[in-house]
Structure 1
């Protein structure tokens, strides 16, 4: 039995393995020792859970047969196999495509994150993921976050990663903590070739796009074809817990219930560690892999299925009552080996978005009791209106809201909403837009008024979230027809460059909208958001004159009869 990268159960052991053997579970007491237990039963110790009163031992087939011949009564499990769901699942073998060189494809993204890491601004995201990230409200979450996952270690248990990838520089756990349980060494570098090459690199990259200051602990348990054995997954979970990981991402699964895996996950839960797992790529009802299937049964597990950017069930995703939550998994851009990026698809890549969200939330609350109950806050924050409608309509033959589950049979608890998750945390205090260097006053309109702004025309405060009339927080600015809002900012330094940034959208493709600056000692500058019916971030630079210490920033709508919206308007020193 094989674990696979999420979705497939592939018969037989991984290439190169000749005897997967057996795992036995034995009871232990406080007086037992590992040495004596190993001498009694043979094999090698995998797990020693003194709190649970059990231990796991790995035995060869010969050792297992000898033990059975002695009439010893133990719980015995064939050392099963798990695999990446994207490998061999219903023809969805082509899980990665659209390769780009890192330098050529993500210049602005890499540059934006580099400057953010040492500076003051909200991290930029790759433009290719704009729609996906807007769907889960990641930019809005970053706009109010303070820690961005700082201090939270996320174990990515997978095919390994490209540890030399530029995107991982300064973002990995110490190399002494890395593990490759297939080669039995400390170098979890993904080997080239194989149908799952790049799988773990992409999963880890998505965690970091959500929680860019988190620390990745790479652990390799799947070979280059996305297959691995149960004993390695158990060892990986134990190692992640013992080295301080708070989140474990398992983009892998199997169709068989393994009690030793339950024991390992319970051990993680007893240490306050969360496990996020993909649910499989079979594209069928109830063909959900373990451990993702345990999201409603084990208190520290969240099983993740995939939806597309319109909140419709991904064709490849397994579905059914045992799916706990959903996240986008269609053509998401992430890291790929050799300093490249790729578009990836599968429940394996929906799961890391949730793992990243947990890391982000873990860092944003200082209460241990809140961290131990993250799953409850996560569940309460999930978006379910559009998801319920889409999944119910597509699957009305099996989805019923009269089953006493309030529709959970249809759509699980709901789809990931990262901003709402952060705001649900006890004691969470939203950060200002870009830190202390923002010169704009009331740029997010959270005062519920236009204090510090001068307005003309039909300008009003937007507070209705149903139509997305504000980008983050609880308020935004709305311009009906034509109108403008402007503010004089002061305290600027002469001969200095500043960056003006805002989030903008319009209701109609023909509506004109301009973000600009004037009266700073140079000619008026502006950037257009005309026709942007989804929220977009626009920015421009202006340089003050030799004697100028102020400027006027403005949002101006000069044509069209439909509404335009603005939020998170900031000016920072470049």
Structure 2
């Protein structure tokens, strides 16, 4: 950094310091190859929280969000606040359960399975040799329907590899290990024709701790039974994560052999960090699939709205747009949801 640039940085920081408070701001930055993150952090009076070193992307805590002019002087190519992302919250009448020991063929009697004619497709493609990463909440590794379908993943919330854990005792009442539980997103009453048993448990919503991750992984296992599913936990037990953790999980999936990445969540705002990681995945010949969104709008939804992402919308059991599903020009495919 030249003497003139350093002088300008000091002047700008002095001016900003008068507006600084005790609060800190989580900021994601990508720096130029010649820039020093230590110099940047020192100039901003902040700290490094996490990093994606191969992309020169860092998560910082700073007392003041730098202006675009100051960021440019410091060698920051772009920056954004590390905002939170939530899992979809599905309001359902209860949990669909089947006694333990029922064969996996029971799932094939569901109307959604029949509607997409999955049975006709499986003789031609079962997903053999394909690793599918699912970025989601926790997964019930002990679930009978998932046995033999999971490969090693990573828990970004707990910062440790995913193992074959079990549900906490406090959650057993909602997802019993002795039962095969199938959590449907829409119109569960239509599933009664398949012989399922609806147990009204007085639930307004499903706990995001395990339900959403287990649901999505279960769908993948049913449609591509010979694939291996890589569970990547980025959402905590309250269904919350942030942009940086998602961006980091996408790159982790690519670097650990995923051929497909599924993201059944989204937001209304663009994220440079997530877009950067998705571009990295596409350039590595990894297929990226994302939910089109559940707010019944044609507004662009992210990450499904990025170029090259397979945006998936939902239909009902009459092949009509599901009442909650997003729609519009970014949709690539739809299916019962």
Q: TM-score, normalised by structure 1?
A: 0.43
Where 2:80 maps in the other structure, the secondary structure is strand
Pairs aligned (count): 269
- Please name the residue that 1:39 is paired with: 38
Matched, 1:179 2:191: no
Structure 2 counterparts to residues 62-461 of structure 1, below 5 A: 62=63, 72-74=74-76, 75-84=78-87, 86-87=88-89, 93-95=90-92, 97-101=94-98, 103=100, 107-109=102-104, 124=105, 126-129=107-110, 131-145=111-125, 148-174=126-152, 178-187=153-162, 192=171, 195-197=207-209, 198-286=211-299, 288-294=300-306, 297=307, 299=308, 301-329=309-337
C-alpha displacement of 1:55? 2.1
Cα distance between partner residues in 2 of 1:139 and 1:254: 34
Give RMSD over aligned pairs: 2.8
Cα distance between partner residues in 2 of 1:237 and 1:320: 25
Q: Which structure has more RCO (C-alpha within 8 Å, separation ≥ 6)?
A: 2
Cα distance between partner residues in 2 of 1:317 and 1:81: 22
The one-character-per-residue Cα deviations of 1:58-117 (angstroms, maximum 9, x if unpaired) are 001338569959952521100022222x32xxxxx415733314516xx132xxxxxxxx
Where 2:334 maps in the other structure, the secondary structure is strand
Cα distance between partner residues in 1 of 2:214 and 2:72: 46
Where 1:60 maps in the other structure, the secondary structure is strand
Structure of higher CA gyration radius: 1
Q: TM-score, normalised by structure 2?
A: 0.72
- Tell me: CA distance 1:27–1:199, structure 2 relative to 1, closer, same or farther (3 Å): same
- Tell me: CA distance 1:78–1:140, structure 2 relative to 1, closer, same or farther (3 Å): same
Structure 2: stretches of 5+ with no match in the other structure = 1-22, 42-47, 175-205
The one-character-per-residue Cα deviations of 1:281-339 (angstroms, maximum 9, x if unpaired) are 112332x4200122xx2x2x10111001111010111112222221110xxxxxxxxxx
Cα distance between partner residues in 2 of 1:20 and 1:327: 40
- Tell me: CA distance 1:70–1:266, structure 2 relative to 1, closer, same or farther (3 Å): closer
Q: Is the 8 A contact 1:38 1:45 kept in 2?
A: no
- Please name the residue that 2:62 is paired with: 61
Cα distance between partner residues in 1 of 2:212 and 2:142: 15
Q: Is the 8 A contact 1:20 1:229 kept in 2?
A: no
Q: Is the 8 A contact 2:32 2:75 kept in 1?
A: no
C-alpha displacement of 1:57? 0.7
Cα distance between partner residues in 1 of 2:291 and 2:83: 18
C-alpha displacement of 1:169? 2.0
Where 2:290 maps in the other structure, the secondary structure is strand
Cα distance between partner residues in 2 of 1:289 and 1:96: 27
C-alpha displacement of 1:183? 2.0
- Tell me: CA distance 1:326–1:60, structure 2 relative to 1, closer, same or farther (3 Å): same
